[in-house]
Amino acid sequence: MRKKIYFSALFLSMILAQEGQEVKQETKKQSQETSEEKAPEERMIETILSTSEREFSFTNKTMISGQDFLDRQVNNVTQMFSKESSIEVGGGGNMAQKLYIRGMEDRLLRVRIDGAAQNGNAFHHQGNLLIDPTMIKSVEIIKGAANASVGPGALAGSVSITTKSALDLLAKGQKFGFRIESGAYSNFGIKESLALYGSDRKYFDMLALYNFVDIFYYRDAKHVFTNLFNPAPQDKVLGSPSMQNNFLFKSNVFFNAKDKLTLSYSLVHDDAVRPFRANITRPDPALNDGVDFALILFRHKNIGNNFSGVYEHKGSERFARPNVKVNTYGYIRNVHLTPYAISANSAKDEEGSIPRDIFLNNFGMDFEVKHALGNQKKNALEYGINYQNLSTVDRYFVPTATQRGKESAHIIGGYVQANYYLLKNLSIGAGTRYDFYFYYDQNYQHHLTQGFSPSAVILWNPVESMDVKLSYSYVTRGVLPTDALLLADYHHFIAKNLKAEKGQNIELDLEYNHDFFTLRGAAFYQNIRDFINSYGIGRGYVFNGEQFDNTIKDNLKYLVNIYGFEAGADFFYKNFLASFSFSRSFPMVRGHLIADTYELGASVGNTYVVKVAYDFKESGVNVSLVGRFVQRLKYNGYDIYNHEFANIDKPGYQVYNFYINYTHPRYKNCTLYFAIENLLNEYYISQASPFKVEADGSAIENINQVRKALPEPGLNAKLSVVYKF
């Protein structure tokens, strides 16, 4: 039966389109309604908030609306991207979730929240993206190497997240409001949220939002109904608890119709008792020299602080009056790990038995200028400069003669890019950036790496409703601090002559839009040369009478190749929507798909996403069903750490989520949201989750013989009530 499903999905995928088209249609409709309803006192705000038509069209861009997250009661990264076939999230529990786009880990992308860069890796057994979906207005994803204006180091693309502001929540003519939400999950948690917002509709607006989410624990599909009212320890997925207190403050100051200042601060605070390795459950102690991971428990405190101040000046269509944007930002991430309960035998785990107080900090400034070119609004010349400081430190570490327990880097760069319509239906774009990377490593060594990052694109419209886009980019990313957990490792060393990483991406995109459907396809090839591997094997040492290897951070001598293709289709008629998408990427080294990695990527099988939805407008009911299908992946994978090949078998799975929302047609202040996730109670482990307990361990080691990644939640019913005033 499952083969038939996959065959049908593959057939449908030949006419596929991205889920983003749904967002385009919704945004267009909302824009039209807003323009018709504008009050005179709102025109100043609407003028400055209008999006410039002069946009550098480049690579494969996907937009996701924050409203979609609200409709689906999304509360973590996995749920955020469950409708995107080209995006996989591994890990299981909230703090273990790692984002992979086209098989590449998000550490290779330039990720920003309200303009604040999120570079770095605090702990290789945790996720890098710390965000509360309730705060999000929109997510912009650029797959493949990004254009020059995105910023330095976007080897595999970029993710730009914009949080909500007061004007996103206020109704027409409203000057003050509040929003209250209360929800509960059968597998097992609660959510409470409060937002206050207001605007004078001329010069100022402000939003304050607090969100509390407590996942007591969750059960996998095998244990959803066992010992329901008196669960045994094995009924709860180890490492799944997560209690978060999150806050967003955002304010806009409108000096006039052309000048705006945006101040934003967001906090995500996660607190729970978990195993030291948040993405690994309990391997058999007999396979691990008697060490029981279930008895190595730490109190995890993960805190992410984002703050930014953005000044924007809106110019005109004259070259001498450009748009100007200045962005200053900071991101402070703290991972505080305190031993909670460690058995005597488990203390033999050297890495997992000591406390950590890790800080990962990003501070920077971006200055951007955008000019109109010629008489067409779509032609533009852009240039700017970027500065960024990235630092890591473990405050519990005592420095030695060879290890200082902290690292820092400074990035200084600039860019220029332009696009121009040679014909009404033919546009070309080109740009480049140059960046200097100054890196001071944990071994007291200085590194200077630098390089160009050029890009080019041709956009052709053979007919008005069709886009054909061919793009190429070359990205240089210099040496930066990587896994901050290694700062406390006395046996970790940095190679003296590290080289910058170089990435290339060539891509062909096709898109066709019709009144009732859209079709889309993409094919791409990407490579990464001199990938910096933090877990290379160095000379050995002895601990507790056992022989171990040092780790060394060095360039991978082999080229990383990524091949792939995507396709999609949306069909929409009146209140009905059906969409299909398909994606597959092949991240390869030495001609083989990659095995587990900490900082590079993950191999995932053919992925299909199907959605059907209907909006009963007269009754205020919206119903949708989303299915995600991932085919079994069985292959001989290459281990970039041990330079060995191993047979890997990742089972496939199919997961259905059902959503129904109700808003009274006349009294629209209150909305009821209901969802059943994993409707058929499928037991599965994300194919992007670790296959081995330790990615840098050999496949022949006893502990790596049985897969022990966290399984995903089983059936979960969610109910939420939202009231707005």
Quote the strand ranges of 441-500, DSSP E: 446-452, 455-460, 466-477, 492-494
User: How many C-beta neighbours within 10 Å does residue 510 have?
Assistant: 14
CA 662 to chain CA centroid, Å, is: 30
Report yes or no: 594 and 588 within 8 Å, Cβ to Cβ. Answer: yes
Distance between CA atoms of residues 68 and 675, nearest Å? 13
Angstrom distance (rounded) from CA 573 to CA 634: 40
| Amino acid present at 123 | F
Question: How distant, in Å, are the alpha carbons of 125, 465, 489 from that of 91?
Answer: 9, 40, 24
In 3D space, the residue among 297, 280, 358, 344 whose CA is nearest the CA of residue 697 turns out to be 280
| DSSP H stretches of helix in 235-284 | none
What single-letter DSSP state applies at residue 559?
A: P
- Which residues face 339 on adjacent strands? 298
- Distance, in Å, from the CA atom of 346 to the CA atom of 292, rounded to the nearest integer, reads 6
- Whole-number Å distance between alpha carbons of 217 and 395: 30
Return the number of other C-beta atoms located less than 10 Å from residue 676's C-beta. Answer: 18
Whole-angstrom CA distances from 371 to 387, 445, 465, 716 are 22, 42, 28, 51
Whole-Å CA distances, 280 to 306, 370, 673 = 28, 47, 32
Decide: 211 and 191 in contact? Cβ < 8 Å: yes
3-state class of 539 per DSSP? strand
Cβ-in-10-Å burial (0-12, 13-18, 19+) of 601 comes to buried
Q: What is the pTM of this model?
A: 0.90
Phi-psi region of 416 (alpha: psi -120 to 50; beta: other; left: phi over 0): beta
Contact 298, 238 (CB under 8 A): no
Q: What is the pLDDT of residue 292?
A: 81
- CA distances in angstroms from 370 to 244, 319, 396, listed in the order given: 40, 9, 46
pLDDT reported for residue 536:
84
Contact 326, 251 (CB under 8 A): no
The structural domains of the chain, ordered by start, are 2-724 (2.40.170.20)
Amino acid at the residue 558: Y
DSSP readout, 113-148? Answer: ETTEE--SBS-TTS-S----GGGEEEEEEEESSPPG
Find, among 500, 247, 494, the residue nearest to 392 by Cα.
494
Which residues in the chain come in under a pLDDT of 70? 1-59, 145, 344-348, 375-377, 538-549
- Count of H helices and E strands in the chain? 5, 37
Contacts of 558 (CB under 8 A, 6+ apart): 589, 590, 640
> For strand 157-163 and strand 110-113, is the pairing parallel, antiparallel, or unpaired?
parallel
Q: Which residue matches tokens 């200045």?
A: 326
Residue 539 is predicted with a pLDDT of: 58
Cβ contact 675:662 at 8 Å: no
Can you tell me the distance from the alpha carbon of 42 to that of 49, in angstroms, rounded to the nearest whole number?
A: 11
Q: How far apart are CA 506 and CA 629, in angstroms?
A: 27
Phi, psi of 239 (to 5 degrees): 90, 5
Question: Cβ neighbours of residue 3 under 8 Å, at least 6 residues apart?
Answer: none
pLDDT of residue 697: 82
User: Alpha carbon of 518 to those of 21, 64, 139: distances in Å?
Assistant: 8, 17, 21
Which distant-in-sequence residues (6+ apart) come within 8 Å of 583 by Cβ?
A: 85, 86, 102, 564, 565, 566, 606, 607
Residue 94 CA: distances (Å) to CA of 78, 91, 275, 618 = 8, 8, 13, 38
What is the spatial distance between Cα 461 and Cα 555, in angstroms, rounded to a whole number?
42
CB 501 within 8 A of CB 508: no
3-state class (DSSP) for residue 25: helix
